[in-house]
Amino acid sequence: MTPNETPEKVPAVQTENLTRLYGSMTALDTLNLTVNQGDLFGFIGSNGAGKTTTLRILATFLAPSQGTARVLGHDVVRDADAVRHVIGYMPDFFGVYKDMEVTEYLDFFGACYKIPAAKREKTVVDVLELVGLSEKQGALIGALSRGMQQRLGLARVLIHDPQLLLLDEPASGLDPRARIEVMAILQELQRLGKTIIISSHILSELQTLCNRVAIIEKGKMIYTGPVQGVRDQLDAGCVYWVTVRDNAPQALELLKAHPSVTEAEAVDGQVKVTLKDHAVDPRFLAETIVHGGLTLTGLWEDELGLEEVFLRVTRGETQ
């Protein structure tokens, strides 16, 4: 099967029980990951979760210990050559050739992919335009800002027009502006039909960018699906804040005693209440306070940020 014949419905990535050991340490533990063609897919986990290990396996740089991984239908072990043709892999740290000119550098990689010289020139112009570096053609790489070097890295992985991009924390270490520029390029690439997997240890960074995400921790999948589903599926609980005119300690005792309350604590004179789940009707909070003879002065739901949800889920799990 050549890349051009890849049927639409073959997943861009499919792993089955993918496992990788380093010595006796299990870095990836029976991971089942599916990424569909056309996805802009966020691969999220704290440091040491196993993101780089997974991406290196998909890029055929590292062999699985057990389980399988297929990229656009090609097995990463048996059909490694075919996989290399359809992916563009940008590692978390890549050396740049500081004394080379931008065009020279891209031309060099084009030659590595055996793109004929005549075609190469246009390809280099095209990818530079895509990443917004057309004006830097003749510049020395060492003179580019960090954000520009990162965009040049993107240009490099685009040179052979791969269908799937594997980007390992491409935004880390960038200032907010450079990060936004990288994200905008990724959206454009998705629009052009590429499938993109981008890893990050910051969930909120990918919140608006990606249509689907996977969250891994200690080599295990803890969530995969749309970003909007993270909060529900991870069952973050439901937090309310209650304030009373006086006697907050009594309010705390009253709420603590209620069967629908999992946790209640005093924080800066307010009572923070965690309910069992979102199905619980929170009106009982007000009733409990009023029936207890106290004056309710405030009751509001805590807007639990996605990052907080993520931290709660992974808390204590990170090495």
Ligand X SMILES: Nc1ncnc2c1ncn2[C@@H]1O[C@H](COP(=O)(O)OP(=O)(O)O)[C@@H](O)[C@H]1O
We find the least distance from the C-beta atom of residue 213 to ligand X, in angstroms, to be: 14
- Joined together, the tokens standing for residue 145 give 């800002």
Nearest residue to Mg ion on Cβ basis: 52
Q: Residue 93 Cβ, how far from ligand X at the closest point, in Å?
A: 11
Exactly one of 52, 54, 195, 224 binds Mg ion (CB under 5 A); that residue is 52
User: Can you spell out the DSSP letters for 4-29?
Assistant: GG--TTS-SEEEEEEEEEETTEEEEE
Q: Which of residues 280-319 bind ligand X (CB under 6 A)?
A: 319
Query: What angle, 0 to 180 degrees and rounded to 10, lies between the N-to-C axes of helices 117-130 and 176-191?
Result: 120
For the bound state, the minimum distance from the C-beta of residue 317 to ligand X, rounded and expressed in Å, comes to 12
> Which of these segments, 48-56, 66-74, 276-284, 302-310, binds ligand X (CB under 6 A)?
48-56
Name the residue among 274, 265, 280 with its Cα closest to residue 308. 274
| C-alpha to C-alpha distance for 283 and 290, rounded to whole angstroms | 11
Cβ count near 279 (within 10 Å): 8
Residues 6-45 close enough to bind ligand X by CB under 6 A: 22, 25, 27, 45
Q: 150 touches which of ligand X, Mg ion, none (CB within 5 to 8 A by kind)?
A: none
According to DSSP, residue 38 is labeled: T
- Which of 155, 157, 160 lies closest to 132, judged by CA? 155
CB of 241 to ligand X, least distance (A): 34
37: nearest Cα among 163, 132, 140? 163
Binding residue count for ligand X, defined by CB under 6 A? 12
46 binds Mg ion (CB under 5 A): no
Q: Could you say which of 15, 37, 53, 314 contacts ligand X (CB under 6 A)? A: 53
* Residues at the interface with ligand X (CB under 6 A): 22, 25, 27, 45, 47-53, 319
* Residues at the interface with Mg ion (CB under 5 A): 51-52
